[in-house]
Structure formats: structure tokens, C-alpha cells
Structure 1
Amino acid sequence: MPKTTTELEIRLPMWEELPAFSLHLDQLLDLTNEVLEPIIGDKITKTMLQNYFKARILVPPVKSKYHRTQLAGAIVIGLLKNVFTLNEIKAGLLALLGNGTPKTGYNNFVVMFNEQAAKAGKELSDPTSLELRSAGQATLMQYDAVQSILFWLSAKNRLKKLMDD
């Protein structure tokens, strides 16, 4: 019997683990799905990615070349799209990035996601990587978004188990 998402290690790659070289659209799509499919059980399509670029949720490519910024964005959007609308995702990403860099914003999300995913199914607790009492609204929103994704995954897995029984 295949393992459920909660039985697998749910882990997103850090910025430094993403390819540093230029990608073509098909490579971007393959790498995004390589990360997301084991977690969410679905794939991002080429049409979805193109819609994210058109809506300016993802930074458009330069001369049809994609980089870490687009890959990191596609991974985050792929997780968030199951819980939030695209307009909400766009507003949230703008708030999170603020004056920061995509690398910093992505790595902050990944650290929080990986930390909370490791605790999934256990007692809820505050993240150890940051102090929530002194966190700004954007960080609190990010924490809530991570928890929403993990609760969605948990509910999806429980439903699958009920349907398999």
C-alpha cells in the first residue's frame, strides 16, 4: 500500500537547493511537479503556469529563460492554490516579499513549512524558528497559510483513508 503524505517526509527544498542555471518552461514544470506531486498529489500544468505569469503572480521569464525565482514561486503557488484564490496568493506574496528578496521570502516560507510539516499530525505548537508574539502581520499570515496547507493535506489524507476502507 502506498504511503500517504503524512507518512512521507514532507520537505521543500531551500533556495540554494534549486538549480542555479536557466531553465526552459518544460524543465520548470517538471521540477515544480517533482517537488509538489508527492506532497499535494496533483501536478501543475503548463496552462496554469502561463496563467500565473499573465496575472503577474509569477515574475515573467526573461527571453524564455526561467530561473530560481520562477521555480520557487511556482512551488509556493502550487501549495497555496489549494487553499487560497490567486488574488489572495498574489496579495500575500506581495506582503511577504515587501522590500525583501525572493530568496529571503522563499527560504523563510520553506523553513516554516518544513518545520511545521515535521510536526504534522502531532500537537500544534508555535514554530521554533521564530517568535510569533513579536512577529509582524506578514509573518503571522505566512504562518497561518502554512498551517492551512498542512490542515488541507491532513483532511485530504483522512478522506482518502475513509474512501479506501
Structure 2
Amino acid sequence: MSHNEKGFQKLPLWRELPSFNLHLDQLLDITNAFLEPITEERITKTMMHNYFKASIIDAPIKKKYQRKQLAGAIIVGLLKNVFSLSEIRQGLSWLLVDASPAEGYDNFVKMFNEQASQKQLETTHITSINLEVATNATLMQYTAVQSILFWLLTRRILEENQASIEK
């Protein structure tokens, strides 16, 4: 498993995920090997069953898990700290209208790996503080603000899409 410049775990592309069927314990081990270094949290069996029950991730066939479930577990494991499960389900459903699971997953992973490797978010330049000499607490505040702003923007896009569907 490789890391980017900041030391964050790089996420695997679809073709790098196992192509053979997995048992739930194997799926969790692989998922957590990627997520835990990033989020410092683990996905549990109970969480996975909740994702299946809520139709966020497709349920396995005869307790055999495929790339689709593994990719879903990785993505949901990252998104669940910022978005509600309902928002995640809505976003994934919307995405899969125009893209295959492999395409949707790879697009997310490429964006994540690229943005996670940047020294700082380049999309917003602030002038109120100098990030080059900021304390870790200030950097934490900055990144928290960026997360919230990106979350709000994504929610607005999802709401606009939902409104256009309901018309």
C-alpha cells in the first residue's frame, strides 16, 4: 500500500481491488487496511449490515462479496463522517445513473488521492491567516472549515439534482 506526499494512505483503483469473491471478514480487513490510516476508524460487521439494509451498498449474493461491495465500503467509510447515510445513498444512486460502479469508484479515488496529496487545499486562498506558519490547531480549524464548505456545496448540488428529478 502506498502513501502520498502527506503520508495519507492512497486508495486503490478498481483494478487493484481483489477480483475474487470475499467473505465479510476479508472484506472488512481489506477495507480497514485502507480506511484506518486515513480516518483512524474501523468499519464493523454491524455497520456493513446497516449499509446493506439501508440500500447504500448492494447486499452480497450468497454471502460472497465482490469488488462492488469492497469499493462501496471504502467510499462509505470515508463519507460517513461528513454526510448522513441518506445523503450518501442519494449521492451514490445519482452517480450510478451515469457511470458504472468501476467508473464512479475510480473517479472518486483519483480525486481523493490527488487532493489528499496536495500540501494544502488550493481551491481557496485565504488572507486572514498565513497557513505557512500556522499552528496545527489553526490548520485543523482551516481544514474543518474547508470540509464543512465542501460538504455544504455538495449538499446544495444534491438538493438541486433532487429538485430537478421531482419536477
Q: TM-score, normalised by structure 1?
A: 0.70
The residue that corresponds to 1:36 in the other structure is 35
The residue that corresponds to 2:99 in the other structure is 100
Residue pairs, 1:10-159, within 5 angstroms: 10-124=9-123, 148=147
Change beyond 3 A, Cα 1:62–1:120: farther
Q: 1:6 offset after TM fit, Å?
A: 8.3
Query: CA-to-partner distance for each residue in 1:86-109, whole Å, 9 max, x for gaps?
Result: 000000101111142100000011
Distance 2:106 2:93 in 1: 15
Query: CA-to-partner distance for each residue in 1:49-107, whole Å, 9 max, x for gaps?
Result: 01000111000000110000000000000000000000000001011111421000000
Q: Could you tell me whether the CA contact under 8 Å between 1:44 and 1:78 is conserved in 2?
A: yes
Q: Could you tell me whether the CA contact under 8 Å between 2:9 and 2:34 is conserved in 1?
A: no
Moved more, 110-119 or 70-79: 110-119
Question: Percent sequence identity over matched residues?
Answer: 60
Distance 2:41 2:65 in 1: 22
Distance 1:69 1:109 in 2: 14
3-state secondary structure, aligned to 2:61: coil
Larger Rg: 2
Distance 2:88 2:102 in 1: 17
Q: Could you tell me whether the CA contact under 8 Å between 1:6 and 1:121 is conserved in 2?
A: no
3-state secondary structure, aligned to 1:121: coil
> What is the identity, as a one-letter code, of the residue corresponding to 1:33?
N
Q: TM-score, normalised by structure 2?
A: 0.69
Query: CA-to-partner distance for each residue in 1:109-145, whole Å, 9 max, x for gaps?
Result: 11111111111425337xxxxxxxxxxxxxxxxxxxx
> What is the identity, as a one-letter code, of the residue corresponding to 2:42?
K
Change beyond 3 A, Cα 1:6–1:81: farther
Distance 1:75 1:90 in 2: 14
